[in-house]
Amino acid sequence: MRAFNSKAFSFLLIFSPLSCLSNASNTLRTGETLYNYETLVSSNGVFELGFFSSGDSGNEYVGIWFINDKDKKAVWVANREDPLPASSGSLSITNGNLVIYNNRTSDKTILNSDAPATTNNTIAKLLDSGNFVLIQGEKMIWQSFEHPTDTFLPGMKLGLFNIGASQPRVQFLLSWLNPGDPGKGSFSLGFDRENKTQFNIWWGESVYQEIGFWDGKNFRLFFESSSNNHNFSYVSEEKETYVTFSNKESIVFSWFVMAYHGVINEYKMEDQRISMVNYSLCDGTAVKNSSGCLIIPLVCENGDDFSEITGLMPTSIITRRATAIGINGCELLCRSNCSCVAYAYSSSDRYGCELYYGSKLDLLKMTGKGNRAILLRGHRKSSKLFHFYYEIRRFELITILFHVVN
C-alpha cells in the first residue's frame, strides 16, 4: 500500500538531463564493478552514486549525492560504520548481492545482508528519487530508502515496521558525527518505540525535543514557518507506523537533514541551486497553545544578548548538561544552537553547563523561586529584562495536518 501517488516524484520535471551524462549508466549488473573513480547517474541526471572522502581522515565511503551539488554532500552513506582507506574500494554484485570490497584486504561489506539474493539474476539501479535498489527478477529485494542516514528525501519513510515480529525494523534519521565525518552521531529523528503517537528528536536514548504527535484525528508537526512544498502522510496500521512526504507540483524540490548539532535543517533546490531554508521548530509551548508559537529568532548567532535572571532551571528532558571549554564556553555552546533558550553554570569554575531548550514562558515562571543565576536569550535591542517579557515575538503557528491513510 502506498501513502501517496506518482505525484511524489513530480519534481523530476524541474531537472533537465546534462549532456555530459548522456552516456552515464544508472545500473550495475552482475559481474560488473564500480571503482572509486566511476559513478552511477540516475536516468534524469538528478543523483549520482560513487565513492567520496570527507574531512581530514582520508577515509572513503560509498554515497549518493545531488549531481549538481558542488559540495557533493552525501544524502545517503552505505558504509558509515565501515569506512575504507583512501582509493581502496569497489562496489560489485557478487552472487546476486551488493558488496563493497576493500581491495587492499579481504574485507567486504554486504549491503543487503538483511535481504540476501536467492539467485544471480539481480541488478542494482540508482533511481531519480535518490533510492538505490537491488532488483531480483521483477522484485525489489533491497533499497537504500529502508536504511536512511541523516537525510529525509521525498518518498522515504520514517517509522516502525514489522511490528509484532521477532525482528521489527525501525527507520530513523541519525546525524553525522560532525560535518566532516559521516559516522554515527548523537542525534536522531524518529518515532517513540513505546508510544507510536510521538515523533521526536532524540539525543542518545533520551528525548531531546518533541516535534510531532498524533492528536487522535491528525498527526501534527509544529514549525515556526513552512513552505507549501510538502504533502505529508501519516500511516498507522497493525504492523507499521510511519511518516512520509512528497513535494507538491512546483519548481522547488526540498528535503530535510538531521544535523550533527541536534537541529533539523530544510534544504531546497530551485533553478539548479541548493540552499538551506531559514526554518526552525517551535519550542514546547506550541504543543500547548494553538493560538501562537514562541520561537527563538532565526538569526541568533550574532543578533541576541543574554540577560541574567534569578530562579530555578526546570528539570526535564529538554535540559541537558554539557562541558564547556573556557570561561565563556557555556554562552558559546548556547549561542551556537538557535534552539537553546537559556543556560546556567553547573559548577563554580564555570566549566559545567546546563543548556535549556524548552518553553521560555515555563522558564520565566520559575523566576524568583530560587537563587540560581540563569542567562536567558533575548533580542539585542532589549537592553533590560523588563522589556524582554513584553517583546517576545509571536509567530503564526503553522500546523501541518498530515493526510491520514486508513
Q: Average pLDDT for residues 361-377, to the nearest whole number?
A: 82
Question: Residue type for 118, please?
Answer: T
Q: CA–CA separation, 391 vs 387, rounded Å?
A: 6
pLDDT reported for residue 4:
33
Give residue 44's pLDDT. Answer: 94
pLDDT band of 255, cuts 50, 70, 90: very high
Instruction: Render pLDDT for 48-107 as a digit per residue (tens, 0 to 9).
Output: 999 999 887 889 999 999 998 988 999 999 999 999 998 889 999 999 999 999 999 989
Q: Could you state, in order of their start, the residue ranges of all structural domains in the chain?
A: 22-144, 148-283, 297-405
Rounded Cα–Cα distance for residues 54 and 322 (Å): 27
Average pLDDT over residues 269-288: 61
> 22-144 and 148-283 share one CATH topology?
yes
pLDDT higher at 11 or 98: 98
State how far the alpha carbon of 55 is from the alpha carbons of 60, 70, 182, 291, 321, in Å: 10, 16, 9, 45, 28
Cβ neighbours for 387, distance < 8 A, ≥ 6 positions apart: none
405: pLDDT confidence band, cut at 50, 70 and 90?
very low
22-144 has which fold? Agglutinin, subunit A (2.90.10)
Q: What's domain 148-283's architecture?
A: Orthogonal Prism (2.90)
What percent of the chain has pLDDT above 90?
39
